[in-house]
Amino acid sequence: MSHLKNIEKKRYLFDLIDRLEKNKILEKNQLCELISNNENTELSEYLFNKARKTSKIYFGNKIYTRGLIEFTNYCKNDCYYCGIRRSNTKAERYRLTEDDILNCCEQGHELGFRTFVLQGGEDGFYTDEKICKILSDVKLNFPDCAITLSIGERSEQSYLAFAKAGADRFLLRHETADDEHYSMLHPDNLKLENRKNCLFTLKKLGYQVGTGFMVGSPFQSVENLADDLLFIHKLQPAMIGIGPFIPHKDTPFSDFSQGMLSLTLFLIGMLRLIIPNANIPSTTALGTIDKQGRERGILAGANVVMPNLSPVKVRKKYMLYDNKICTGEEAAECRFCLSNRIKSIGYELTVDRGDFIALDKLKA
Ligand code: 5AD
Ligand code: FES
């Protein structure tokens, strides 16, 4: 490519970022163009600068913390990428009792957590009644805290019952917004349409909804990623969680390679411009593929961290992917470590529920 053409191309790409910031979305081919250039460091620095400035408008230098409680690793599903899939007979299964969960919350509350994320596989043992009981007891004991559920697909009726019992938020990654790609990551009984319906139902019921996807999952194309961004723009979630795909040795995807750090960071930056006030975590998966991954996620536009509050005795059993970090540390150690990491890049952890506030309400 001639020098002049290079300059033109560069101007075009930078201009696309300006337009993404202004319009909060682009045409699919333009999204693809940007995504394909994620390894261009000048371009990514330009994006991250804008993303950081946008985060600062809404959150200053504050980073919200969510205490993650992985309360069951039983799962009736068989997603090809996931270490706790039903067919992984090597996974040692566990369930936390309600007392275990309340103990985690108590520890977490002392450490300054004001959001608890109850996450688990799709485990039929926890009937709606059981989940509702846990929710109302957590709310009763910690009335100043928000509760986020992350327990997969259930009926509208169940989601409504959970909301009534005290759930404020719900995380359900769409994983990929393309039907065909979805069917390459999941067995036939799991359908993208159901997942999308769940997300819109949760939104309708008044939940702060989180979605997201894995970066670099097997068979993923640049077009798939552009579709993920378009889907997120359409759903307008309150939270967006993305992280690199990391193979797990006892899954059908054991031989695939992990997602790229640069691409994950670039997408975090783009997402910050697409939904400027969204809560975007710098994920454990990001910290697993790079020692400074979580810090770099924040510097690319993320504003949330989700340290683990699960009892250390079960942590190694919630292995969604190989080499997951923080599986040997106590909650207090993680909190301390993260707080230092975040200070080292000029931010600070905050004791705050960190609710999502829609832009029109912010202006009002
Ligand atoms: N690598 C990275 N992320 C994974 N998840 C599940 N398995 C993996 C993996 N092998 C993510 C999924 C799920 C979330 C809880 O963890 O996106 O929604
Ligand atoms: Fe868990 Fe650093 S966050 S040890």
Using one digit for the tens of pLDDT, what is the confidence trace for 133-145? Answer: 999 999 999 999 9
pTM for this entry? 0.97
* Residue 241 confidence (pLDDT): 98
* Residue 364 confidence (pLDDT): 57
* Residue 172 confidence (pLDDT): 98
Average pLDDT of the chain, as a whole number? 97
Q: Please give the radius of gyration of the chain, using alpha carbons only, rounded to the nearest integer.
A: 20
- The arithmetic mean of pLDDT across residues 246-271, rounded, is 98
Q: Whose CA is nearest to atom 4 of ligand 2?
A: 334
- Res 16 pLDDT > 60: yes
Q: How far apart are CA 242 and CA 244, in angstroms?
A: 7
Token digits of residue 66 = 């969510």
Using one digit for the tens of pLDDT, what is the confidence trace for 71-97? Answer: 999 999 999 999 999 999 999 999 999
Q: Quote helix, strand, coil % in the chain, to nearest 5.
A: 45, 15, 40
Token digits of residue 132 = 């509702």
- Least distant ligand from the CA of 305: 2
* Residue 360 confidence (pLDDT): 80
- Res 18 pLDDT > 80: yes
- The arithmetic mean of pLDDT across residues 198-206, rounded, is 98
Whether 39 is in the pocket of ligand 2, judged by its Cβ within 6 Å, is no
Report CA-CA distances (Å) from 293 to 92, 113, 244, 262, 338.
28, 22, 10, 10, 12
* Residue 363 confidence (pLDDT): 66
When divided into structural domains, the chain yields a total of 1
Q: How far apart are CA 173 and CA 242, in angstroms?
A: 8
Range of the domain at 246: 2-363
- Res 65 pLDDT > 80: yes
> Band of the pLDDT at 70, cuts 50, 70, 90?
very high
* Residue 321 confidence (pLDDT): 97
- The arithmetic mean of pLDDT across residues 206-222, rounded, is 98
Whether 243 is in the pocket of ligand 1, judged by its Cβ within 6 Å, is yes
Mutate to test the pocket of ligand 2, among 305, 309, 337 (most ligand atoms within 8 A of CB): 337
Mutate to test the pocket of ligand 2, among 70, 288, 338 (most ligand atoms within 8 A of CB): 338
- Res 34 pLDDT > 80: yes
Distance 8 CA to ligand 1 centre (A): 39
Whether 318 is in the pocket of ligand 1, judged by its Cβ within 6 Å, is no
**81: CATH:** 3.20.20.70
* Residue 227 confidence (pLDDT): 99
Using one digit for the tens of pLDDT, what is the confidence trace for 281-309? Answer: 999 999 999 999 999 999 999 999 999 99
- Res 35 pLDDT > 80: yes
